[in-house]
Structure 1
Amino acid sequence: MTGPLLTTKMFVPRPKAGTLVRARVSDLLDQGVSTKLTLVAAQAGFGKTTALANWVHQRCAPGLVAWLSLDSGDTDPATFWTYVVTALSATNPDIGSGVLPLLEGAGRPTPAMLTELLNRLAELEHDVVLVLDDYHLADGPDIAEAVTFLLTHLPPQAHLVLSTRTDPSLPLSRLRARGELVEIRAADLRFTNAEATSYLHGAGVDLDPPEAAILESRTEGWAAALQLAVLSLQDRTDVADFLADFAGDDRFIVDYLVEEVLSRQPRDVREFLLRTSILERLTGPLCDAVTGHTGGGDTLQQLERENLFVIPLDARRQWYRYHHLFADVLRAHAATDPAGTPLATLHLRASAWYDADERPVPAVRHALSAGDPARAAALMETAMPRLLRDRQEATIVRWVDAVPADVVSSRPALAMGFIAGLMAHNDVSSVPARLDELDALLARLAAARAAEPVVLVEDPTEVPRLPGKVQLYRAAYALVTEDLDGTQRHVALATAAAAPDDHPTRAGAWGLSGLAHWRLGDIEATHQCYSRCVEELLQAGHLSDVLGCTTTLADIRITQGRLSDATRTLQRTLALTTTTTTTTTTEAVPRGTADMHAGLAGVALERGQLDDAESHLRRAQELGEAAGMPQHASQVRVTMALARAARGDVNEALTLLEEAERLYVPDFKPDVRPVHATRARLLIGQGRLDEARAWAATHQLRPDDELTYVREHEHITLATLLLAESRGGQAQHLDELRPFLARLHAASDAGGRHGTLVEIAVLEACAALAAGDHQEAGDHLRLALRLSGPERFTRPFTDHAGDLPRLVQLLTPEEQQSAWVGTLLAACTPEVPPTAQARVRPPRQDLVDPLSQRELEVLRLLATDLSGPELARHLVVSLNTVRTHTRNVYGKLGVSGRRAAVSRARELNLLSRQDE
């Protein structure tokens, strides 16, 4: 997010002296702690915030409540979640240290960020309550989707409380049906007769029973109306007349009472209230700037002492806000006050103060409210680079329609920023027209015609860079619309127009060119473009982007069968990170470092080096998902899954792939190895062919499809399925399989994808063997051996370990004796020493549902001092997978916690001394 966090939004409001303690409402809030969600929903003035604050201070243990007061500036997902995570960090700093880095550079919450947040909450050894006050001010589709995900997976020790004027866009019916929701509505918040009488008495207003009954009846237990009535009744002698005039609906009551309160204030206080009503949050210096007077801080404290609907937001009484209902009416009075300062003037003063305080978003908001789009545009333009860097495109998109077109047309840098925000937000419909307008403006600027309107640019050094950026975004638009020729054409224009030192534009152009080549399957050209992109990024000092591109460079080399080059690429870039830091904390490690280790693990798996692969995966886990790019959370689970499958634990691998598919974050890069296809391969290996057939049907895969590089991985998976079906007695599949493989062979060979070609050649050998064509089977095997040997490419052979011994028999005796063939045969027939078999012999279990071997392993580790993340690293799985095993262990042992599980295991003799 842009600008510092306003810490006062995360302070629990302190109850005012004399506030009525309403045990009835607090009891309802207590009930909510046993559920996922407590919804406190009522219109303004019903005392939602007061009831929650009283409950927190009176009934909640210190340090276990995270409070966040939301406002209209929190609709941006990045801002919202930064505040939420920071608020939760007050209950445990580990939450922020693990999750906040995942928000850096993300325009919206990623599945990885939300998963990490849930994981951190699940690790807490105490309950935590997150209170989101005034949630309706931030509610929107993006935030609702993420909050729904959070609620769905919320661990038992975490509870969410929402205070809102309107029902949120959340699955309330589902939560209600599952007993996971406690609702506190207006009827629950209304003051009863007894509470109203107690409140009036505590405020020094003692009415006769008939008068108190009239007041309670007219206000219908509405807290705001009662409070205003108290202010109006103080020192009044004509109580009967006042009550006689006090009638009407809610809005009339508030208007009437506020007018009564205002008319009884000294002129300077009344003026202060009206002028500062435009502010969402109040602090002394800001109020001084808006009112044009001094002493704003003292006035706020005085208003608080007099109970004039001023709510303190911090313990030091530095920041406040007005009660929302009170503020609404104040603003209405300020707008119609003939003697008051014009609202536009007040907003401009507020805008200037926020600008000086380096808070561009509220500065822009007040400039727009002042009706000064020119000032707002200038502020936007200044803030735009930082917003784009922090991936707050949603804020930019909200601004796009707020500035008149004629203002934008005179500000080329602002227009460029709007285009960048729209593209990054995938809102591309208006981009071509905006680019045309910007081109025309730049042409007029280049011609320097005196008759043209003045062109305004806040940073003059940005002007020479704009022509290159225009072409860059034309290239990006062409790529989005699958116009690959157009992409390359505009890339050439962008690089020609970009200044030699405009490294970000040049890097972007090379990256887009590489993506266009990638979609066409020309991976060598992709590698060349990405290499140029990396050179420019290094010049620009964008190390994390370099790490992100390196993942692509390594993947291409693996596809080409050049495993040594892939390793060198990853290691060389990994070495760059050591010049930045020598620590292992995620705060200091450049983002993308974990991806280098995941990439090295992938290379090791291709070579059958499982120990090396697991070592790199553990290092990636130690660094944490915050040290990875947005795709890391998904990709590292895919690599873990392949490692577990190589160890023979296919069920755990499938669980990891389910997580990976859920965490996948699409981006500009083509998804050439979709998780669902990798999952289908494991299903085929397990003989679950019906599920694999369903996969093929779902993704509309057929042997006669037109072949493209983007779907090559899926088509090879389909070929693997057809081969498995032919072994199951469906020989007809061989007739369509072999020509299908021949087409795949030709396509991968033409594209220089020799790593893929090894895989296809092994499949061709297996298919020919199944058809009894031994000569062709041997020829295909020889090709696979020749291509794989220099780089020790093992995985394509171990994927078909059952066929390899028979295939080897088709070779000449001399070929059979080669060292590489021997290595492959050993890899396909691993030996387990007898002593090892004895060690893993399962103990006798007196359980109705015995623990699996993996669950026994988890149980033994639970008896150690290893934490949850350490257990995951030891087992080379995700933390979610560990939790799944742990829940299963608890369920089978009939316990609810780690200590109880270990104790029960001892009773059943499931643990040895060595285990503990």
Structure 2
Amino acid sequence: MIDYVLGAEPGTGAHLVERMEQENLFISRLSGHTTNWLRMHGLIRELLRRELEEDSDRAADLNRRAARWFAEHGLIEEALLHARRCGDTDLATEIVVGSRGVISSTEQWSRLERWLSVLPDAAIHADPELLILAAWSADNRGLHRLMATRLDRLEAVVDAIDDPSRRDAIRGEAAVLRSVQYYQEERGQEALDATAEALRLLPLEREGEQAYAGIVRSMALQMVGDFPGAQAEIDRMLDGAHGSGTFQTRILMARAFVQWIEGDTTGAAETARVIANLAHEHGLGESAAAAAMFSGMTSLDRGDFAAAGAAVRPTVHGAYAPNAFFYGHSAMVLALALQGLGREDEARSVVADVLARRLAGANPLGAAEVEAFAAELALRQGRVEDAQRWHEQYQPGSCGVAYGAYHPELTRLRYLLLSGDASADDVAVELIDRFRASHNVRLERAVEVLRRSRGAPEAAGEVGLGSEAGSTEREISGRSAGGTGGGLSSLSSREIDILELLAERLSNKEIAKRLHIAPATVKRHAATLYGKLGVHGRRAAVEHARAEGFLERSPG
């Protein structure tokens, strides 16, 4: 480093350090580091600093050289510090853009916002490559409105890039993030179109961005009612998986999300285990947090509070800071697990001290979720007045699509049911229609269970995300437990719906109308369930289910 910064002959720095050590001239080697790192006495540092103040041009040149050396050796924060000291915004931009691969390949997203904070807003808004990084940072922190604003700014400046390949790559990244925006807004087909555009434009080496597009694409396919298509998309991307472990873990996250939304708790738990193993193998903190979240959610769904808490506690209280979604929903799982174990004060502490502090201050949408979740916990603990205060200010529909551990609309319905509000059943129908339209099987059934129990937590087993949806799966599992079962226990909630309607002798078109999905989707679901049951055709499937006690036998 000394040679590089001073522009000296190779070996000059090593000789200088050796001489200083021999003569005990105010330097010492750092313990716990490689022997190449040394500390200079504070008095000497102050003397040198004052000398540099007398020659600002020389100081700027040395800082510029130091910035480049640190950047070349992967010490980005140190590089940006020196770039800022010499006031070289162009150099800082070059360092940030040139180091972006470190973020995506190692999932160290929390570093990106620190890097961007070194740069003035005007520089970010004028540079397409900085703007797309700023949009990624907003997405990672759950700030989707800010993400959309930055994407709008990007559209105004992206044409300034002369290189067509670079221009297309940034447009591809923007399309990935637009697909996230559309999915959040429950615009499934537009999300699909955006992912198709992203995958067309992204170069092969942008594997992390491609994988993210795959996540949104598979979830959007599920949202429009094409669960088999979502599974096929995930399988296709896994078959062609390449590069680092983060590509595989992101595609597997898509599988876990789709399984969770479809009500397949067992499948989501199995996928979480695979993600956890890959995350450990490749040292991927974000993927490890995702695996822990899914493990916690599925354990909670089965009523295993101790396992749920153990799964997510390292994410909530650990040193690694994952993105806002994984962190927030893991904290919700921890609070519900503690509540289920009868540790009410600790559950409230998680909401007050962890969620509110870490999410509400930085994310308006997250703040709405935090406040709603606090009301959910209040209802479970009999503090109805606290929930009432929340309900009076809650804006229905203020929180977007639901695909994690919790959604505020369930708390809204629970409160209305418990308080005997005359609108409760109308709200339940409204929510069922909403979740059915987006093919969220888990939440559709959660609403149905809440309505049957009139919102009483004890009737749902005190599981939050929770057994409203999970109890339905346990009811289904119980129905298949009487016989050998075959492949019946592996059927998803949607496949069970179709099997029951097949037993009513409805055509594919009639089933599609009943479930608000396309006839082609019914056909794909049916083909999948025939394969799981090892039968050919609807009659054989229905007969098999009846023989196993899964369906009631037809009269006579």
TM value normalised by structure 1: 0.38
Deviation at 1:405, TM superposition (A): 7.5
Q: In structure 2, what is the equivalent of residue 604 of structure 1?
A: 302
Q: Secondary structure at the match of 2:40?
A: strand
Q: Secondary structure at the match of 1:400?
A: coil
Deviation at 1:614, TM superposition (A): 5.0
Q: In structure 1, what is the equivalent of residue 375 of structure 2?
A: 677
Of 384, 390, 396, the residue aligned with 1:692 is 384
- Rate the CA distance shift 1:579–1:715 in 2: closer, same or farther, 3 A: closer
Structure 2 contact 71–79 (Cα < 8 Å) conserved: yes
- The reply to whether residue 740 of structure 1 matches residue 438 of structure 2 is no
Q: For residues 90-239 of structure 1, what are the structure 2 equivalents within 5 Å? A: none
Q: In structure 2, what is the equivalent of residue 382 of structure 1?
A: 98
- The reply to whether residue 630 of structure 1 matches residue 314 of structure 2 is no
Q: In structure 2, what is the equivalent of residue 436 of structure 1?
A: 155
- Rate the CA distance shift 1:372–1:533 in 2: closer, same or farther, 3 A: farther
Q: For residues 503-902 of structure 1, what are the structure 2 equivalents within 5 Å? A: 504-509=208-213, 525=225, 538=238, 539=241, 541-542=245-246, 543-546=248-251, 548-549=253-254, 552-558=257-263, 565-575=264-274, 577=276, 590-605=288-303, 613=304, 616-617=307-308, 620=311, 629-631=326-328, 633-644=330-341, 649=342, 652-660=343-351, 662-664=353-355, 666=359, 671=369, 674-684=372-382, 691-700=383-392, 711-723=408-420, 736-737=421-422, 739-745=423-429, 747-748=431-432, 751-752=435-436, 753-763=444-454, 789-792=475-478
- The reply to whether residue 363 of structure 1 matches residue 79 of structure 2 is yes
Deviation at 1:428, TM superposition (A): 5.2
Deviation at 1:676, TM superposition (A): 1.8
* 2: CA distance, partners of 1:289 / 1:786: 66
Q: Can you list the C-alpha shifts for 1:272-320, whole angstroms capped at 9, x where unaligned?
A: xxxxxxxxxxxxx526742625544554576688897x45352569512
* 1: CA distance, partners of 2:198 / 2:41: 53
* 2: CA distance, partners of 1:570 / 1:300: 56
Q: Can you list the C-alpha shifts for 1:780-834, whole angstroms capped at 9, x where unaligned?
A: xxxxx999843449xxxxxxxxxxxxxxxxxxxxxxxxxxxxxxxxxxxxxxxxx
- Rate the CA distance shift 1:532–1:701 in 2: closer, same or farther, 3 A: farther
Q: In structure 2, what is the equivalent of residue 471 of structure 1?
A: 175
Q: Can you list the C-alpha shifts for 1:716-737, whole angstroms capped at 9, x where unaligned?
A: 32134315xxxxxxxxxxxx44
Structure 1 contact 707–744 (Cα < 8 Å) conserved: no
* 2: CA distance, partners of 1:404 / 1:596: 39
Structure 2 contact 198–213 (Cα < 8 Å) conserved: no
Structure 1 contact 547–593 (Cα < 8 Å) conserved: no
Q: Secondary structure at the match of 1:637?
A: helix
Amino acid at match of 2:199: A
Q: Can you list the C-alpha shifts for 1:21-50, whole angstroms capped at 9, x where unaligned?
A: xxxxxxxxxxxxxxxxxxxxxxxxxxxxxx
Q: More helix per residue: 1 or 2?
A: 2
Q: Secondary structure at the match of 1:320?
A: strand
Structure 2 contact 276–292 (Cα < 8 Å) conserved: no
Q: For residues 16-27 of structure 1, what are the structure 2 equivalents within 5 Å? A: none
Structure 1 contact 506–536 (Cα < 8 Å) conserved: no
Structure index of larger Rg: 1
Q: Can you list the C-alpha shifts for 1:519-546, whole angstroms capped at 9, x where unaligned?
A: xxx9665978976885587436435445
Amino acid at match of 2:270: Q
Q: Secondary structure at the match of 1:312?
A: strand
- The reply to whether residue 319 of structure 1 matches residue 5 of structure 2 is no
Q: Secondary structure at the match of 1:641?
A: helix
Segments of 5+ residues of structure 2 without an aligned counterpart are: 437-443, 458-470, 480-556
Q: Secondary structure at the match of 1:751?
A: helix
- Rate the CA distance shift 1:596–1:639 in 2: closer, same or farther, 3 A: same
Structure 1 contact 393–424 (Cα < 8 Å) conserved: no
Deviation at 1:714, TM superposition (A): 1.5
* 2: CA distance, partners of 1:656 / 1:341: 58
- Rate the CA distance shift 1:546–1:602 in 2: closer, same or farther, 3 A: farther
- The reply to whether residue 492 of structure 1 matches residue 193 of structure 2 is yes
* 2: CA distance, partners of 1:719 / 1:390: 42
- Rate the CA distance shift 1:286–1:366 in 2: closer, same or farther, 3 A: same
Structure 1 contact 570–600 (Cα < 8 Å) conserved: yes
Q: Secondary structure at the match of 1:748?
A: helix
Amino acid at match of 2:381: L
Q: Can you list the C-alpha shifts for 1:152-173, whole angstroms capped at 9, x where unaligned?
A: xxxxxxxxxxxxxxxxxxxxxx
- Rate the CA distance shift 1:638–1:557 in 2: closer, same or farther, 3 A: farther
Q: Secondary structure at the match of 1:358?
A: coil
* 2: CA distance, partners of 1:544 / 1:346: 42
* 2: CA distance, partners of 1:525 / 1:311: 67
Structure 1 contact 439–470 (Cα < 8 Å) conserved: no
* 2: CA distance, partners of 1:286 / 1:372: 21
Structure 1 contact 601–639 (Cα < 8 Å) conserved: no
* 2: CA distance, partners of 1:328 / 1:434: 44
* 2: CA distance, partners of 1:368 / 1:513: 40
Amino acid at match of 1:323: G
Deviation at 1:599, TM superposition (A): 2.9
Q: In structure 2, what is the equivalent of residue 350 of structure 1?
A: 66
Structure 1 contact 744–760 (Cα < 8 Å) conserved: yes
- Rate the CA distance shift 1:438–1:385 in 2: closer, same or farther, 3 A: farther
Q: Secondary structure at the match of 2:388?
A: helix
Q: Can you list the C-alpha shifts for 1:639-682, whole angstroms capped at 9, x where unaligned?
A: 423532xxxx4xx2453243255333658899499432332232
Q: In structure 1, what is the equivalent of residue 489 of structure 2?
A: none
Alpha-carbon RMSD: 5.2
* 1: CA distance, partners of 2:291 / 2:185: 33
Deviation at 1:757, TM superposition (A): 0.4
Q: Can you list the C-alpha shifts for 1:238-290, whole angstroms capped at 9, x where unaligned?
A: xxxxxxxxxxxxxxxxxxxxxxxxxxxxxxxxxxxxxxxxxxxxxxx526742
* 1: CA distance, partners of 2:149 / 2:130: 15
- The reply to whether residue 397 of structure 1 matches residue 102 of structure 2 is no
Structure with the bigger RCO (C-alpha within 8 Å, sep 6+) is 2
Segments of 5+ residues of structure 1 without an aligned counterpart are: 1-284, 447-459, 559-564, 606-612, 685-690, 724-735, 767-784, 794-916
Q: Can you list the C-alpha shifts for 1:886-912, whole angstroms capped at 9, x where unaligned?
A: xxxxxxxxxxxxxxxxxxxxxxxxxxx
- Rate the CA distance shift 1:751–1:420 in 2: closer, same or farther, 3 A: closer
- Rate the CA distance shift 1:747–1:672 in 2: closer, same or farther, 3 A: farther
Structure 1 contact 634–661 (Cα < 8 Å) conserved: no
Tell me the number of residue pairs that the alignment of Structure 1 and Structure 2 aligns: 421
- Rate the CA distance shift 1:405–1:761 in 2: closer, same or farther, 3 A: closer
Q: In structure 2, what is the equivalent of residue 76 of structure 1?
A: none
TM value normalised by structure 2: 0.58
Amino acid at match of 1:353: W
